[in-house]
Structure 1
Amino acid sequence: MLKLSTLSLAVLALCTLPACTATGPTAAASMATAASAAASAATFDRSGEDLAVRPQDDLFRAANGEWLKNTPIPADKASYGNFSQMADRADARVRTLVEALSKGQYRSGSNEQKIAAYFRAFTDEAAMDKAGKTPLQPLLAQAQGLRSAADVARLMGQLQGVTSVPLALDVQPDPKSPQMNLPLTWQSGLGLPNREYYFSKDARMAKARGAYLAYLQTLFRLQGDRRHAARSARDVMQLETRLAKAQWTEVANRDAQKTWNPRTRAELIAQAPGLDWAGFFQAAHMGALERLNVSQPDYVKALAQAVREVPARTWSLYYQARLMDSYANLLSKPWRDARFAFRGKALQGREQPMPRWQQGIDALDAALGEAVGQQYVARYFPADHKARMQQLVANLLKAYGDSIDGLSWMSPATKAKAREKLAKYTTKIGYPDTWRDYSGLTVKDGDPVGNAERAGQFEHLRVAAKMGKPVDRSEWLMSPQTVNAYYNPAMNEIVFPAAILEPPFFDMAADDAANYGAIGAIIGHEISHGFDDQGAQYDGDGKLDNWWTPEDAQAFKALGDRLVAQYAAYEPLPGHKVNGELTLGENIADLSGLQIAYKAWKLSLNGATPPVINGLSGDQRFFYSFAHAWRSKYRDELQLQLLTADPHSPPEFRANGTVMNHDAFEAAFGVKPGDRMYKAPADRIRIW
C-alpha cells in the first residue's frame, strides 16, 4: 500500500462515489449479461503463477511464485510489483505530456509554462553541477543567523512547507465540527525514518544510524565546514535523538482519540512554555490562530523545553542539516550522490538512483500535481472507465449494507447508525470537478532550488488560508496520476484517482470475477476504512463521535484483538514481526473489503453461473485476481522501514492472511485440515 502525509487518511488506498444509488435488479442483470458475453471470449492471465505451489498451501505464491523467482527488483527501485509497474506507466505518460509541453510556446504564468519550466530546471543536471551549492546559500543564511530561542521559533514557522521542522502545522476539518477547518500541530523533523531508528538495538537500525551520522558529516563538509563537520553532525544527531525520545509511537499516532487534544492559544502557551508561540504562528502565516488541535501534547511540551534549553548554535546546525538534506538533490553531483547514498541505498537498498526524468515527474506531482493531472485525464482517462467504476461501487455499497444487516454480533441500534453512515458516503472517481488554481505560484527556468522552495511555500500558504473557513468538500488529496486511493474519515469519502483504474486492477476487457477480485476488493477496502477500528469512531458527517453501544464496541474490539494476534505472528524479516496493532486498520479493511467484494460480485451475477476460463472457476479467478493484485517484492532495507512505520502489512500477508478467513476461499479450492491455508471455521475472523 501507499501512504499519505496527512495523519487522518486511510490509504491503500481505494475509493467510492457520491451520487451512487444501489444497483437494482435490472441494472445488475444487464451487467451480468455484459460480463457473460465478454467472458465467452475472455482469457485470464496466469503468467507468473507457480503451478508447483498449491493455493491450499500458499495462495500468494501459487498466484505469483514464478514472477517472484524470475523478476529482479530493478536497480533504481526499493520495491517492485503491480503498484510500481503501474506508477512507471503513469510516469511515462506524464513524461510524454511534459516533453511535448517543453517544445511549445505558452503564455508566461500559464500552467503549461510552469509545468515545462519546472521539469526543465529539475532535470538540467549540468546546470546544477555548474551552480554548486550557491542556490542554497540564501536559505542556509537564515539558519546561520539564529541568535536566540525566539529566532529558533520564528524560523520553524518560516520554514513550514520549505523543509522538515520539529513541529508541522496543518489545517484539517475539525473532528468535532467537520464542516469547519481547524489548525493542528504534528510531530516532525527527524532525519531518520522514525523514533525507533534512534533507539533500537537491532543491527540494521544501528547501521542506519551510522550511515546517517556519516551523511550529516558529508553535508557539513560540502557546505564548507571541513574542520568541525564531525562535531556538527554529532550535535545534530544528539538534538534529533532528544526530539525522537519525546515523539509518539506510530501506534499511538493512529489513535483518533489520543491525537484529539483541542487547545486555545492561551492554553497552549501555558502548557508548553519556552517557545515563542506568537512568533512561530506569525512566521507561519497563521498569526490569527486562536484555537487548534495539539496532536501530541507532551511532545510539544518537550519541544518547547528543548527550544529553551538547547543553544541557538545547535538549533542553527539542525536547521542547516534539514535544509541541506531537503535540497541536496537539486545541487551539484557530490550533493546528489551523498543524498542517494543515505536515502536511496542505506535506507532503501536501491543500487542506483531513479532516472532523472522520473524523479522530475515525482517532483512535478508534489508541486503542480493537479495542473499535470488535468492534462493526464484529458488524454488517458476515458469516460466509460468512470461509468463502469460507478456500477462497481454501487454494487459494493449495496453489498456492504446487506452485510451490516446480517451481522450477528451487532445490535439493531448500532446497525441503524452504521447504515446511516454508509448512506452518507461520498465517492470521487478519476479527477476533481474543480481544478486547483496555481496562478500564485512562480516557476522559473534554471532555478530548481527556488522552484522547490516556492512550491513548498505556496502549498503551505494554500493550506494555512483554510484556517477557520468552511471545509471545501470538493478538494482532492491525491492527484489523478497517482496509483493509489484513500478514505478520508473527516469527509466520509472514498477517492480513486484515474491512474489506479487500469490493468491489472481494473480492466474493461476482463470478466467480472477478475475485476471484483482486484479493483472490487480495493473499493471494498476503502469503504471498509469507514468501519475499521479508527474510522468507526467517526459518524456519517465526519464527526469524531461514538455511535456504538458499549456492548457492540466491546464485541468489535474483541474481533480486532483476534486480528492483531493473527498478524503479529507473521515474521517478514528475521527478528522483525508485523506490528498487529499498527496494521489493524488496514487489516480490517483488507479482510472486510475482500468479503464485501465477493458478495458484490455474486450480486452482479444475478443468479447466473460464471464460466470456467483458463481452467479456473469464477470463484477461483476471483481469489487468484486478489492475490495477483498484491504481486510485489521488497528490498530488506525498505521492508525494515515499513515494518516500523507503515500501517499496512507486507503484500504476502495481505493476500494470505485475508483469504484464510474467507469461507468461500475454502470452498473454491477445497481447502482441508492439514493444508497450510486451512483455518477452522470457528477460528475465522468475520467482521463486516
Structure 2
Amino acid sequence: MATISQTAVKQDLYDAVNGNWLKTAEIPDDHASTGGFMDLVDAIEKTLMHDFDAMAAGEVTPDNPQLAEFIKFYQLAKDFKQRDADGAKPLQPCLKQIDSLSDLADLQHRMPDWIYDGLPLPFSLDVDADMKNTKVNTLFAQAPGTILPDKTYYDEGNQQGPKLLAVYAQMMTKLLQKVGYDDISAQKIVDDTLAFDRLIVPWVKSAEEAADYSKMYNPRAFKDFANNSRYLDLAAITYAVIDGNPDKVILPEPAYFDHFNEVVNPDNFNLMKNWMKAKLVQRLSGYLSDDLRTLSTTYSRTLSGQKTPRNQAKSAYYLATGTFDQVVGLYYGHKYFGEAAKADVHQMVEKMIGVYKKRLKANTWLSADTRAKAITKLDNLGIQVGYPDKLETIYTKFKTHTAEEGGNLLSNALHFGRVARKDMFAKWGQPTDRTRWEMSANTVNAYYHPFMNIIVFPAAILQAPFYSLDQSSSANYGGIGAVIAHEISHAFDNNGALFDEFGNLNNWWTDDDSAHFKELAKAMITEFDGLDFAGAKVNGTLTVSENIADAGGLSCAEEAAKSETDVDLHAFFTNWAMIWRMKATKQYMQLLLSIDVHAPAKLRANVQPKNLDDFYTTFDIQPTDPMYLAPDQRVKIW
C-alpha cells in the first residue's frame, strides 16, 4: 500500500489517500459512479458474463438443473433479435386486463389473481417476520411508491421535483405511444397518473421518517383494516391469497390506510386505472424490445446523471441474474470464494465479536443489567459468510419456457414472479427461516438484519481492497474488519438497539441507559447534520444509524488491529479511506443525500477517524489542522 503524506492527511484524509485516483478516474457513461465498491461490481460482472456467455453458447455445461434454467432464461434475455421482433406484443395481455377494468367491483373480483401476478395495485400485501414475535411470519400491507424518489421532492420550493416530473411525463408519453396508445390517450394516461400519484403523496413517509424502524410496527386488528375500505373488500382479497384467518396486519404506512377511501374510490377510479397502466408499462418495458428498454431508463438516468443506458449484453446479464440471484450467487461463491476463505473470514467475524464483547464488558455508561443483555444479544448473533449452505427450494420451481415452447422473456419473468409470490404467501403463519439469505453471494455489500439478529457478508465483498492475504493485518482491519464491526454495531445503533437477541421489538434498556444512548445518538446527528456536500447538505437524522455503525465499526476494528504484532495504524486509516473512494455525478450525489441512510462516502472516510484519539497521534494532527476535532466534540458511543 502506497505511503501517504502526513501533511496531506492533516488537510483531508480522503483526498490524501484518493487524490491521485480522483484526478484520473472516469465515470463510465453507463454508470452514475465509479470507485471502490463499483470497481468490484464491474469485475464480478465481467467474470460472470464471461462464464455465462460460454454456457449460453454451449461451450460449457451448467453443473446443476437450476443453473441450466437460468442459462435458458439468460439466452432469452440476450436474444434482442427476437425481442425486437416481438416489440410490445408480450405486454399486451397484461395491458388488456387493465384496459378492460370496468369499476372497483371488477377490480375486487380480479385483484387476488393480480396480486399473484405482481400487477400495479393501489396497495400490496406481503409476508415477513412479525417484529414482536420474529419466530413467526405475519401479514403486512404496504402503500404504493411515489413517482419521485421521496415525498420531500413534492414540497413547494423543491426545484428538482417539477423538472423530474416533466422528464417522467415525456418518457411515459413516448412509451405509451410505442406500446399502442394514440397521442391523446397516451397524454390522458400520463395526466391521470400524475394526478393519482399526488393523492398518495400526503399519506406516505419521507426517507427520514422511514429510517426509524420502530415506526414501521403498526399492528392493526384485521377486521379494522378490512373495514378501512368502503369500496374494496380487503378481507375477501386477503383470504384469497392467505390460507387462513389473520387476526392482525402490520401497516408500515398507517396514514395511507387511514385515508384509503380518499385515494381509492369511484370518483378516482379512472385516475387509478390509468396510473396502473403507466406503472405497468414502465415496470415491464425492460423485458421488451431494445427501443422500449432504453427509453424506459430515461427517468432513472436523469435522476442519477447516468449518460447512457446499459448496452444490450449488460442489460441482459443484470435482468437474468436479478431473477435467479441466489442461483448465480451460489455459483459465484463456490467457484470464486470457496470453503477455505469462508472459514477464514468466519473466524475473523468471531474475532470481531470477541472484541465487541470485551468492549461491552468494559463499557462505563451502561448499567450492569443493560450491559448483560447487550452481551446476550451478541452471544445470539447469527453469522453468515460467503454464500448459503443450500439453495432455497423455490428455485427448483423456476422452469424456463423457451421460444419453441411458446415462452418469451416477459412471460417467463411474470411466471417466476407468480411462483415466488405464491411461495411467500404460503409462508404466512409459518416459522421464519433464520438461515435464509436476502442478498446473493455475488453482491458487493453486507448487512445486519435486526428482526433475525444476523450479520451477513457475501463473498463478493471479501476481496481487496476490503480483504486480501496480500494486505497487512492492519489494512484488512481498516477494510473488511471495519465493515464486519460496522454490521455488528447495527445491533446497537438507534434502530438495532430496539430489538432483542431474538430480533423482537422489545425494550431491553433501563430508562437511564436509554436516555443516555439517545443523547449520544443526538451528538452523532449533530456531527453530520448540515455538512455541505455536492451543493446540498447532509441530513444527520436520516443517516444517524449508519453513522453510529461506522463509528462503532471503525473503533472496534482499530482495537483489533492494535492487538496484532504487526500493527500499522497508517495502513489501517489509509485503507479505511481507500474503501470509500468514489467519483459520482452531481445528480447521483444529490439523490443519495435525499434518500440514502448512509452519509456521502467522502464524509464517512473523513469524519469517523476524527472521533478516534489514535488518529491524531498517528498523523500528528494539531488543533490548527483542518482534520482536527476538539476532544469534547469527538463522538464515542461503542
Q: Report TM bin, short chain.
A: over 0.9
Residue 264 of structure 1: CA displacement?
A: 2.6
Residues 1:285 and 1:403: Cα distance change in structure 2 (over 3 Å): same
Matched, 1:189 2:149: no
Residue 114 of structure 1: CA displacement?
A: 1.4
Query: SS at 2:124's partner residue?
Result: strand
Residue number in structure 2 paired with 1:100: 54
Residues 290 and 312 in structure 2, CA contact (< 8 A), matched pair in contact too: no
Query: SS at 2:384's partner residue?
Result: strand
Question: How many correspondences in the alignment?
Answer: 630
Residue number in structure 2 paired with 1:578: 538
Quick check: 515-524 or 498-507, which moved more?
A: 498-507
Residues 1:214 and 1:580: Cα distance change in structure 2 (over 3 Å): same
Give the structure-1-normalised TM-score.
0.88
Pairing of 1:26-425 with structure 2 (within 5 A):
44-45=1-2, 54-104=8-58, 110-153=65-108, 157=112, 158-159=114-115, 162-199=118-155, 201-223=157-179, 224-282=181-239, 284=241, 288-344=245-301, 346-425=302-381
The amino acid across from 2:346 in the alignment is Q
Q: Structure 1, residues 226-247: CA drift from partner, whole Å, max 9, x if none?
A: 2232222111101001112211
Residue 159 of structure 1: CA displacement?
A: 4.0
Q: Structure 1, residues 580-628: CA drift from partner, whole Å, max 9, x if none?
A: 111110000011100011112223x1xx353xxxxxxx11110010000
Percentage identity across paired residues of the two chains:
31
Residues 1:152 and 1:661: Cα distance change in structure 2 (over 3 Å): farther
**CA–CA separation in structure 2 for the residues paired with 1:633 and 1:463:** 39
Pairing of 1:375-524 with structure 2 (within 5 A):
375-437=331-393, 438-446=395-403, 447-524=408-485
Residues 1:639 and 1:283: Cα distance change in structure 2 (over 3 Å): farther
Residue number in structure 2 paired with 1:653: 603
**CA–CA separation in structure 2 for the residues paired with 1:441 and 1:386:** 28
Residue 441 of structure 1: CA displacement?
A: 2.0
The amino acid across from 2:553 in the alignment is G
Residues 146 and 312 in structure 1, CA contact (< 8 A), matched pair in contact too: no
Unaligned runs of 5+ in 2: none
**CA–CA separation in structure 1 for the residues paired with 2:552 and 2:64:** 47
Residue number in structure 1 paired with 2:512: 551
The amino acid across from 2:90 in the alignment is P
Residues 164 and 189 in structure 1, CA contact (< 8 A), matched pair in contact too: no
**CA–CA separation in structure 2 for the residues paired with 1:168 and 1:66:** 48
Residues 526 and 593 in structure 1, CA contact (< 8 A), matched pair in contact too: yes
The amino acid across from 2:141 in the alignment is T
**CA–CA separation in structure 1 for the residues paired with 2:618 and 2:38:** 30
Query: SS at 1:201's partner residue?
Result: coil
Residue number in structure 2 paired with 1:626: 576
Residue 387 of structure 1: CA displacement?
A: 2.2
Unaligned runs of 5+ in 1: 1-43, 611-617
Residue 462 of structure 1: CA displacement?
A: 2.3
Residues 427 and 494 in structure 1, CA contact (< 8 A), matched pair in contact too: yes
Residues 1:259 and 1:154: Cα distance change in structure 2 (over 3 Å): farther
Q: Structure 1, residues 139-194: CA drift from partner, whole Å, max 9, x if none?
A: 11111122222344565652456355442322221111111111212223323322
Residue 72 of structure 1: CA displacement?
A: 1.2
Residues 528 and 540 in structure 2, CA contact (< 8 A), matched pair in contact too: yes
Residue 508 of structure 1: CA displacement?
A: 1.7
**CA–CA separation in structure 2 for the residues paired with 1:552 and 1:301:** 35
**CA–CA separation in structure 1 for the residues paired with 2:602 and 2:120:** 33
**Alignment partner of 1:591 out of 532, 539, 551:** 551
Residues 1:60 and 1:200: Cα distance change in structure 2 (over 3 Å): farther
**CA–CA separation in structure 2 for the residues paired with 1:412 and 1:161:** 52
Residue number in structure 2 paired with 1:636: 586
Query: SS at 1:56's partner residue?
Result: helix
Quick check: 285-294 or 393-402, which moved more?
A: 285-294
Pairing of 1:598-609 with structure 2 (within 5 A):
598-603=558-563, 605=564, 608-609=565-566
The amino acid across from 1:445 in the alignment is T
The amino acid across from 2:227 in the alignment is A
Q: Structure 1, residues 528-585: CA drift from partner, whole Å, max 9, x if none?
A: 00000010000111111001111111111111111111111212132x2111111110
Query: SS at 2:392's partner residue?
Result: coil
Residues 200 and 206 in structure 1, CA contact (< 8 A), matched pair in contact too: no
Q: Structure 1, residues 186-234: CA drift from partner, whole Å, max 9, x if none?
A: 2233233222233353323321121112122222222323223222211
Quick check: 329-338 or 418-427, which moved more?
A: 329-338
Structure 1 stretches of 4+ moved >6 Å: 105-109
Quick check: 665-674 or 350-359, which moved more?
A: 350-359
**CA–CA separation in structure 1 for the residues paired with 2:438 and 2:457:** 11
**CA–CA separation in structure 2 for the residues paired with 1:136 and 1:361:** 21
Residues 443 and 461 in structure 2, CA contact (< 8 A), matched pair in contact too: yes
RMSD: 2.1
The amino acid across from 1:372 in the alignment is V
Matched, 1:686 2:636: yes
Query: SS at 2:507's partner residue?
Result: coil
Query: SS at 2:296's partner residue?
Result: helix
Residues 1:303 and 1:639: Cα distance change in structure 2 (over 3 Å): farther
Residues 1:163 and 1:529: Cα distance change in structure 2 (over 3 Å): farther
Residues 150 and 279 in structure 1, CA contact (< 8 A), matched pair in contact too: no
Quick check: 506-515 or 531-540, which moved more?
A: 506-515
Query: SS at 2:142's partner residue?
Result: strand
Residues 1:340 and 1:536: Cα distance change in structure 2 (over 3 Å): same
**CA–CA separation in structure 1 for the residues paired with 2:613 and 2:418:** 52
Residue 91 of structure 1: CA displacement?
A: 1.5
**CA–CA separation in structure 2 for the residues paired with 1:638 and 1:87:** 17
**CA–CA separation in structure 1 for the residues paired with 2:543 and 2:106:** 40
Higher relative contact order (CA 8 A, sep 6+): 1
Query: SS at 1:491's partner residue?
Result: coil
Q: Structure 1, residues 331-369: CA drift from partner, whole Å, max 9, x if none?
A: 22332232122222x111111112322222322232111
